[in-house]
Structure 1
Amino acid sequence: MPWIQIKINTTGADAECLSDALMENGAVSVTFQDTHDNPVFEPLPGETRLWGDTDVIGLFEADIDVAAVIEALSGHPLLGKGFHHKIEQLEDKDWEREWMDNFHPMRFGERLWICPSWRPVPDADAVNVMLDPGLAFGTGTHPTTALCLQWLDGLDLEGKTVIDFGCGSGILAIAALKLGAARAIGIDIDPQAIQASRDNAQRNGVEDRLDLYLSHEKPDDLSADVVVANILAGPLRELAPLISTLPGPGGFLGLSGILASQAENVEAAYADTFSLDPVAEKEEWCRITGRR
């Protein structure tokens, strides 16, 4: 069915209140969008971080009386008569099919491909990880995941043990196993991530070489030849005393989920333990690597 959306420009402070007003007047969903397309990073637990200039977008069924909705909203104390808004009609689409059509196999480094199950594998002789987007973060489309995959592809992982700290979908651990690692260990705080990693490992035939732990259940004596952590700058700094102990002597460390502007502070948390490489950047995100 077709849809109508009403977009109201407001401030972050007023967005939640206007969201409630849209829902009270028949919106089936409401989303917030930064007017200037500026992303917000690292909200506090349970916090909905909003922008200084925010578009509040209400989605309505096409048969809604738009004039009546606008009239009702005009009586809201934050809006008033003649408030700035935009009305748009959305064409009806098979959104799932359109989304699937735009998801293609992606190559990382020299050998590695990440392939959705509904697409043919481009190179049967390459290292192919079959992975469909799901409940947990990590498909290769985000620059931080791409940076980590490229780094893993460039390492000699043959016979090595790899820890994926904050494993999400399991994409990094599974890629490491397919690239020759003998064993991988995935750690995450989210039970859905553990389940997603387990399912993806089974799909790729590596479940017997992947151990998965919720963070509070991991063994105390974990150690690996390679440790990769694609999370966020804040947790990477806070968890540096723990993460730094995971690579064995001469072990490799790869960190991502970091904005380029945050790299210096994260580097400082690891510089005493690791010999760090030059920072790699991709679309304002970066990767920090080093050797213990």
Structure 2
Amino acid sequence: MPWLQIKVVTNPDIAEFYEDLLLEAGCAAVTFEDAKDQPIFEPELGTTPLWGTTVITGLFAAEHDLESTLAFLNEQKLSVEGGDTIEFKAEILEDKDWEREWMTHYHPMQFGSHFWVCPSWIEVPDANAVNLMLDPGLAFGTGTHPTTALCLEWLASEPLQNRSVIDYGCGSGILGIAAILLGASAVSGVDIDPQALTATQDNLVRNGLDKERLPVFFPESFESEAVDLVIANILAGPLKELAPTLAELVKSGGQLILSGLLIEQADELIGTYSEWFDMEPPSTKEEWVRLTGRKR
């Protein structure tokens, strides 16, 4: 069915007031989005910062009394300073199958000469290539984000036969499954999000692989001998905190792949991991970085 949406542009100081106002007016959901392309790449732990100019959208059922709702909102906004300058914009939201809407924009992606990541609902472009069939579900990792793409490019270019791998922060399982399809002999996945562990196992089955090929764990229950390769596509903050843990998981002469960090964060991470690894110059895509190191 179609929906109605009411939008208001505001600032972080009074965003909560307008969120409460929309909820009081009877909306089914409230969303926040950036109005001026001011991304927040890595907020501090425990914080949920908003953008300097934030668009708040309230979603209402089609049968909602729009006229009386706007009258209520316009009356209540006057109770805060500057409320007389605020405008509420009402729109009819087109009726769509939103799950399938994003699917129409997700296409097969090639990494290297012989490896493809393909949406599970699309025919593979090259049946003779190594094809990873993916449905990310609610977990991070489709291959479209530069951090994931940087890792996939590295995996597709390296000899992985008979190597042991840990995908730390496995998300959808895309990197761990890629390692298996490209020849790795033993792969484990670790993530703090239960939805990620579920998505990883679902994508294993989607690729005709037994769940035993990529066992998944929460960090607190994960135990492993040192392996040939650890991949961690997370964020700079956790990567710094996890440095001793990740270093211990890599055997002498083994490799470490780090991603999920911005260009300006690379030097600090290189300094941190240089305690255990000989770090190579960073590889970049857009404003994101991949770091590679070999354990001494």
TM-score by length of 2: 0.92
Instruction: Describe the superposition over 1:15-69 as per-residue Cα deviations: whole angstroms up to 9, x where unpaired.
Output: 1221110111122211111111222233455543212211111122344333322
Q: Which residue of 1 aligns with 2:131?
A: 128
Q: Which residue of 2 aligns with 1:67?
A: 67
Q: Which residue of 2 aligns with 1:138?
A: 141
Instruction: Output the CA distance in 2 between the equivalents of 1:38 and 1:222.
Output: 43
Q: Secondary structure at the match of 1:206?
A: coil
- Which of the residues 203, 215, 225 maps onto 2:219? 215
Q: Which residue identity does 1:183 align to in structure 2? A: A
Q: Structure 2: which 5+ residue stretches go unaligned?
A: none
Q: Structure 1: which 5+ residue stretches go unaligned?
A: none
Q: Are 1:91 and 2:94 counterparts? A: yes
> Structure 2 matches for 1:5-84, cutoff 5 A?
5-45=5-45, 47-74=47-74, 75-76=76-77, 77-78=79-80, 80-84=83-87
Instruction: Output the CA distance in 2 between the equivalents of 1:265 and 1:281.
Output: 16
Instruction: Describe the superposition over 1:146-201 as per-residue Cα deviations: whole angstroms up to 9, x where unpaired.
Output: 11111111111011111101111111111001001111111112232222212222
- Which of the residues 281, 286, 295 maps onto 1:283? 286
Aligned length: 291
Instruction: Output the CA distance in 2 between the equivalents of 1:267 and 1:184.
Output: 25
Q: Secondary structure at the match of 1:133?
A: coil
Q: Secondary structure at the match of 1:39?
A: coil
Query: Between the two proteins, what is the percent identity of the paired residues?
Result: 53
Name the Cα RMSD after superposition: 1.8
Contact 1:73 1:80 in 2 (8 A): no
Instruction: Output the CA distance in 2 between the equivalents of 1:41 and 1:146.
Output: 17
Instruction: Output the CA distance in 1 between the equivalents of 2:48 and 2:250.
Output: 35
Q: Which residue of 2 aligns with 1:234?
A: 237
> Structure 2 matches for 1:182-261, cutoff 5 A?
182-207=185-210, 208-219=212-223, 221-261=224-264
Q: Which residue identity does 2:134 align to in structure 1? A: L
Contact 1:177 1:206 in 2 (8 A): no
Q: Which residue identity does 1:190 align to in structure 2? A: D
Q: Secondary structure at the match of 1:287?
A: strand
- Which of the residues 111, 116, 121 maps onto 1:118? 121
Q: Which residue of 1 aligns with 2:166?
A: 163
Higher mean displacement: 75-84 or 275-284: 75-84
Q: Which residue identity does 2:178 align to in structure 1? A: A
TM-score by length of 1: 0.93
